[in-house]
Chains A and B, each alone.
Chain A
Amino acid sequence: MKKFLTMLLTVVLAVSSLGLFTACGGDEEQQGSNEKIAALICLHGEGSSYDKNFIDAFKAACKAKGLTEEQYTIVVDIPEDEPAYEKAAEFADAGYKVVFGDSFGHEKFLIKAAKEFPNVQFCHATGTAGGFLNTEDTSDDAPANFHNAFASIYEGRYLAGVAAGLKLIELYGEDITADEAKIGYVGAWPFAEVKSGLTSFYLGVKSIVPNTTMEVRFTNSWYDPVAEQTAAEALIQGGAKLVSGHADSYGVPTACKNANVPNVFYNGTTNEDTFVIASKINWQPYFEHMLDGVMVEGKSIEKDYCGTLENGSVQITALGKAAAEGTQTKLDEVKAKLMSGEIKVFDCATFTVNGAPLTEYLADVVDTGDFTGETNVVKTEGGKTYFAESEFRSAPYFDLIIDGITVGADVVTPVK
């Protein structure tokens, strides 16, 4: 018994002294207000390029607005399920003024929290409730304190496509054959957000290489490095000369590196010799707008914010080692035309669906869960007829597969 007690005493003493030692220090009192302002809810953690994008922008925006570390918080690994609601409600309980959820599936749960806490603002990326916000009927699906946000990333994709097209010309010359003009794309899920991205990328390539065709694979997962790498390898095996993608791991760039095929990425960059360019959404402008909305008297958060090239939400990264010469000047030129409206990405004169150009299209803008379209989104302005992506709602609704694009493993036919 004695021996036991002494062992006990020794161990407890040793560890407690260690503990006390580290307890001293590292506990500075924050000067200034400790009022809680903003909370960010992430699907995964910094390991996912998607979430890292949000995390970095959020931290930068909070710093730019002068928030102390006590005034904002970030939680990670919150699944697209009930825990999202619970976390959001916890933040509301704790006094945060605005809560942001970064993943598509968080939406319904943030809305649930929004209904319960009308004085707290809830914001969400990529969500489709924006469709309700822009209609006239006040819908239960979009309470007043709930806001959506996205960006016209299709313009960034288009620019990335232009860079890709220039690379193809550099590799195969102006007389590039149809085989040499074949490109590949690895998407996550076959729905509008991904389809809008791949189509705009394709149209960007097509504006430089008219005879290009694109083969698409869907991995049915936002994050699966092996599946993405395999799909990219399969595309390259099948003849793709350049591969891009929309998924959260680095599987596609790795496959491209191994096969020495140029790669266009999304929301991240790599140092590889095969990296051409990437498009990304910079969330900092939105986050700063969001913080203004809760901190500055008289300002409020936009219902359905759509970031643009102008305000810096849509960005293309610096050119990689594989970019062709002269790419930067061409990109600056195209970017200016996009901003002035001279070029419309989804210009109906540049693509056809099932052989015929689009004159009208009922898109599923108001997401009632029945997956059927109801809003005609084809507009004519300034002599151009175009598919007005992101104008009726910030989250994409372009879910068509146009001619020139083939889906290798999956097709979801758009409902007429």
Chain B
Amino acid sequence: MANNKTIHEPLLHIVKRDNISIAKKISIYAIAILVSLLLGGIICSIVSPRGNVGKFFTSLYEGCFGTKRKTWLFFQEFSLLLAVSMALIVSFKMKFWNLGANGQILMGGLASIACSYYLGGKINESLLIVLCVLSSMLAGAIWAVIPAICKALWNTNETLFTLMLNYIASGLVNLFIAIWVTGGSGILNPLAYGKLPEIYNKYLLIVLFGIIITIIITIYLRYTKHGYEISVVGDSPNTARYIGINVKKVIIRTLILSGIICGIVGLLLTSGMSNNISADKAGNRGFTAIMTTWLANCNPLFAIATCGLVVFITKGMEMVRPTFGMLDDTISNLVIGIVYFFIIACAFFVQYKIVFNAKTTAILNKIATPFIWVYDKIKLGVLFIIEKIKPIFNKIVKKENTEKEDK
């Protein structure tokens, strides 16, 4: 169609990048995280006169690694979050939005505590522990597979279904506590039986689980037929059907796995810690893991980094708060939210680049010129110095070599 109007070029195009070097990717993320933390530190120091940005960063570090106990706690929390992330990775890779991890964790914990409550002292302790483990896996699996079956059969929206099941799970926990604690205080005291055995100290069992499950899921997704099927179903269910994959079976099977992992996390949080349960036992890890999983692009190895980062910031903020005299979690939420936003925006910049129209590009180039000039000068200077040092360096090396030969 011939057109006499001048073509109006929009300000910017969003163009998908062809490829991007790993180094560039990592540096983009690293910068985003650093900048967002700096921003958080600045906000904190503005709000509270007791601290400054330097203290912000040292408190972050101290909160995670300041003492041996804190370091263990960091790795315990890291492992728990990582495990939940693994559960979500297998499900998200299939584009099945399992927002119900909180509920699956709670059901696993509830099943285990129920076993301990009703059978504790009446049967052999080792048998009880086995029952606790099995029941928590079963409970988590059931809670995850119900929405999976409904999705497979009737295409029920899983985002909303799993969300509702979270509420029902915490309601069930409250119900059982109401039945068990006849004194009326609403608090279940630690039970006497059914506590998981400790390995070396109370944290190591959990840390080991985190490591093991990460390895299992990485291998599962990368090297098994199941893993292959999951990624095909996630990319395109139609393609999967054409090549003979039973999509319904894959969805159900994967969510069973997801539920089992969450169930075990529930077991660890209850019988593996203080042997009690409450409606907020899951600590909202189900939602936090959604963030870490997605930020890791559903890759188990990247999830190690994202979970580590999130736990670092969360635990670190626990130290920042008292240091800065903050008496509620207002600022924590703000800081964590800012970091999330930066990383989300980052994910975009890694996949796409912004190409400005000709006019704008020219303007940007003009602005960039002085900085490029500075950069060039610094580069020249550094190269110059290196040139000067090289001969001196070579001389020293030669001397050493001749000394060696002499010996």
A4-27 Cβ-contact flags toward B at 8 Å (1 or 0):
111111111001101110111111
A82 touches B322 (CB 8 A): no
Q: Which B-chain residue is minimally distant from A411 (CB atoms)?
A: B184
Given A10-B371, A47-B328, residue A26 in contact with residue B50 (CB < 8 A): yes
Whether B12 sits at the interface, judged by CB under 8 Å, is no
Residues on A lying within 8 angstroms of B by beta carbon are: 2-12, 15-16, 18-20, 22-27, 45-47, 55, 69, 73-77, 79-82, 85-86, 89-90, 93-94, 104-105, 108-109, 189-193, 220-221, 364, 369, 371, 399, 410, 412
Q: Are A371 and B187 in contact (CB under 8 A)?
A: no
**B134 close to A (CB within 8 Å):** no
Which bucket holds chain B's interface residue count?
35 or more
A172 to chain B, nearest CB (A): 34
Q: Which residues of B contact A5 (CB under 8 A)?
A: 375
Q: Is the CB of A371 within 8 A of B278?
A: no
In this assembly, does B42 line the interface, its C-beta being within 8 Å of a C-beta of chain A?
Answer: yes
Q: How far is the CA of A366 from the CA of B281 in the complex (A)?
A: 28
- Shortest B144–chain A CB gap in Å is 24
- The complex places the Cα of A12 from the Cα of B34 at a distance, in Å, of 9
Can you add 17 more A-B contacts, CB < 8 Å, to A15-B35, A26-B49, A82-B273?
A11-B31, A16-B38, A22-B42, A27-B52, A27-B54, A47-B328, A69-B50, A69-B325, A75-B318, A76-B327, A76-B329, A79-B278, A79-B280, A81-B278, A108-B274, A189-B186, A412-B182
Q: Are A18 and B328 in contact (CB under 8 A)?
A: no
For B371, give its contact among A9, A76, A79 (CB under 8 Å). A9
The residue of chain B having its C-beta at the shortest distance from the C-beta of A220 within the complex is B186
**Which of A45, A89, A192 touches B327 (beta carbons < 8 Å)?**
A45
| Closest B residue by C-beta to A78 | B318
Is B368 an interface position by the 8 A CB rule? yes
A371 touches B318 (CB 8 A): no
Q: Which of B165-188 contact A (CB under 8 A)?
A: 174, 178, 182-187
CA separation between A10 and B31, bound complex, in Å?
12
Given A4-B24, A10-B371, A75-B325 contact (CB < 8 Å): no
Q: A6-B372, A16-B38, A47-B328 are in contact. Are A191 and B70 (CB under 8 A)?
A: no
Nearest residue in B to A86 (C-beta to C-beta)? Answer: B73
Q: How far is the CA of A89 from the CA of B38 in the complex (A)?
A: 30
Top 5 nearest A-B pairs (CB, nearest first) are: A45-B328, A191-B184, A190-B184, A6-B371, A371-B183
Q: Is the interface of A mostly helix, strand, loop or mixed?
A: helix
The residue from A20, A189, A410 contacting B185, defined by CB atoms under 8 A apart: A189
- Whether the pair A15, B322 counts as a contact (CB closer than 8 A) is no
| Residue B46 lies at the interface, judged by CB distance under 8 Å to chain A | yes
Flag if B372 contacts A23 (CB, 8 Å).
no
Give which listed residue, B53, B185, B280, contacts A23 with CB less than 8 A: B53
CA distance A266 to B222 in the complex (A): 60
Closest-by-CB residue of B relative to A44 is B328
For residue A25, which residue of chain B has the nearest CB?
Answer: B52
Q: Are A104 and B185 in contact (CB under 8 A)?
A: yes
Contact with A along B67-85 (1 / 0, CB 8 A): 1011001000000000000
Whether the Cβ atoms of B184 and A189 lie closer than 8 Å is yes
Give the distance in Å from the alpha carbon of A77 to the alpha carbon of B317 in the complex.
12
How far does the alpha carbon of A19 sit from the alpha carbon of B35 in the complex, in Å?
10
Of B35, B178, B182, B327, most buried by chain A (CB within 10 Å of CB) is B327
B195 in the interface, Cβ–Cβ < 8 Å?
A: no
Residue of A nearest to B281 (CB): A81
**Contact (A26, B372) CB under 8 Å given A46-B327, A75-B321, A76-B321:** no
Which A residues lie within 8 Å of B39 (CB)? 15
Known A19-B38, A46-B327, A371-B183; contact A8-B52, beta-carbon cutoff 8 A: no
Cβ contacts under 8 Å, B183 to chain A: 191-192, 364, 371, 412
Given contacts A81-B281, A82-B273, contact A19 B53 (CB under 8 A): yes
State whether A80 and B35 are in contact (beta carbons under 8 Å apart), knowing that A6-B368, A45-B329, A69-B50 are contacts in the complex.
Answer: no
Chain B residues lying within 8 Å of A221, measured Cβ to Cβ, are 186
Measured between alpha carbons, how far is A371 from B182 in the docked complex, in Å? Answer: 7
Residues of B within 8 Å of A3, CB to CB, are 364, 368
